[in-house]
Amino acid sequence: MKEAPAPPAQLGPDDKALLARLRSGEPQAFEELVRQETGKLLAVARRILPTEEDARDAVQDAFMFAFRSLARFEGQARLSTWLHRIVVNASLMRLRTRKRKREESLEPLLPSFQTDGHFVERFATWDDPLTKLETAETRALVRQLIDELPDGYRTVLLLRDIEGLDTEETAKLLETTPNAVKVRLHRARQALRTLLAPHFTRDRR
């Protein structure tokens, strides 16, 4: 079943005014947009790319592309949403240009089964992680463990679960099929659960 796309946020009055100023070439409008969006775009790029230098370069690439593409921007989403998509794409392009390392197998992190077909439970009772995910410490742990996943799985998980892109858009950005995205995402989530389990389990009494 295809995912229903979320309705796009409408371009508000402030965005419309800023867009008009940008299209007229007003220098202060460009400075305002950069000042307003750089922090958020850097946060996105840092989640995808391994170094601060790469993240800053991706943001710069994104702004340059956006400024060149203003005439083609149809205003069907907020400027911030449009820029978010651009910086994700710029980050992925930078990721592709880096020297590719051999992708490690995900199999050790996936569920295993006994010869009779029953699932092998590796850990004790799983505590409810949702209460713990509210803390900055746990969010940092989750991010650290996501970074331990092989690149192909890590990127799918980031785009779908962290950046909130749908399956179709993720497939397009990664130049693959929606089915491949679904399979990789499922396996990435299983692997992440394995990595998280020791932090969220308690011994059975």
Q: Which domains does the chain have, with CATH numbers?
A: 13-97 (1.10.1740.10), 110-202 (1.10.10.10)
Determine the distance from the C-alpha atom of residue 1 to the mean position of all C-alpha atoms in its chain, rounded to a whole number.
23
Place of tokens 């077909």: 117
User: Cα separation of 140 and 135, whole Å?
Assistant: 9
Q: Token digits for 3?
A: 């995912």
Contact 127, 196 (CB under 8 A): no
Report CA dihedral (84, 85, 88, 90) to the nearest 10 degrees.
Answer: -110
pTM, 2 dp:
0.69
- pLDDT per residue, tens digit, the chain (205 aa), is 334 444 445 667 788 899 889 999 999 999 999 999 999 999 999 989 888 999 999 999 999 999 999 888 877 788 899 999 999 999 999 888 775 555 555 666 665 544 554 444 554 444 444 445 556 677 788 888 888 888 888 899 999 988 889 999 999 998 899 999 999 999 898 888 888 887 766 544 4
User: Cα separation of 55 and 157, whole Å?
Assistant: 18
Q: By CB neighbour count within 10 A (0-12 exposed, 13-18 middle, 19+ buried), where does 105 fall?
A: exposed
